């Protein structure tokens, strides 16, 4: 039997309701998948649904879902540490005002840079703090220091030291695990030269809060 004949018969069967073609997505049950991954890796993992609140883009779905999850888990006296970037801002821009007190918010990494790229550091911090009625604790430092000596001296400052300590005490951290691609936001802030970028991309595969792994 030829392919065109099979195609015609199949089309007729579909029109008559005799045949229904459906692609089964093994990841439809996101709750089950979350539980499987959580058990395997001994972590509390949440899988973002492919469809969520009629959001059109993956970034919007991720932002809205994470904002809802964060709102659900935050308790009085929690300390929330936050990074920055487009994904983080997608989360904080979906946060709604909460009736909760006793929350502290703190930046986990510096955001001052030479480049014109937007990091959304202050927008994200302000939105997070406003949503949870907290006083924003900014970390007024560059993303990278030129040398280790300067970094150590700055960390000895009493104010900077207190912010860094608060970040270490955070029991909730909102950050992303980013790539080390050449077009990554972190590589376009004017801190790293071409040689440093090559070294980072050659020796690491991921980054988290300006630490490379």
Residue 184 within a domain: no
Average confidence (pLDDT) over 94-118: 90
Q: Which domain holds residue 102?
A: 57-177
pLDDT digits (tens, 9 = 90+) for 108-165: 998 887 777 788 999 999 999 999 999 999 999 988 888 899 999 999 999 999 999 9
> Minimal CA–CA distance to 106: which of 151, 153, 162?
162
CATH number at residue 70: 3.40.50.1360
Give the model's confidence band at 5: pLDDT under 50 very low, under 70 low, under 90 confident, else very high: confident
Pair (67, 44) in one structural domain: no
> Minimal CA–CA distance to 132: which of 186, 184, 80?
80
Q: How far does Cα 148 stand from its chain's mean position?
A: 28
Residue 14 within a domain: no
pTM for the model stands at 0.77
Q: Which two tokens stand for residue 146?
A: 């030129």
Residue 26 within a domain: yes
């Amino acid at each position: 039997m030829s392919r065109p004949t099979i195609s015609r018969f199949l089309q007729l069967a579909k029109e008559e309701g005799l045949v229904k073609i459906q692609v089964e997505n093994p990841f439809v049950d996101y709750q089950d998948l979350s539980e499987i991954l959580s058990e395997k890796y001994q972590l509390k993992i949440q899988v973002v649904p492919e469809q969520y609140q009629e959001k059109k883009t993956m970034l919007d779905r991720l932002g809205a879902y994470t904002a809802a999850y964060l709102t659900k888990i935050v308790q009085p006296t929690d300390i929330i540490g936050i990074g920055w970037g487009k994904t983080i801002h997608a989360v904080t821009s979906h946060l709604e005002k909460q009736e909760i007190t006793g929350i502290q918010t703190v930046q986990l990494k510096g955001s001052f840079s030479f480049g014109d790229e937007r990091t959304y550091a202050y927008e994200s911090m302000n939105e997070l703090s406003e949503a949870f009625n907290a006083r924003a604790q900014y970390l007024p430092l560059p993303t990278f220091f030129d040398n280790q000596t300067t970094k150590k001296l700055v960390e000895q400052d009493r104010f900077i030291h207190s912010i860094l300590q608060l970040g270490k005490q955070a029991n909730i951290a909102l950050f992303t695990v980013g790539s080390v691609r050449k077009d990554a936001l972190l590589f376009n802030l004017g801190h790293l030269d071409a040689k440093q970028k090559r070294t980072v991309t050659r020796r690491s595969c991921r980054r988290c809060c300006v630490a490379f792994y």
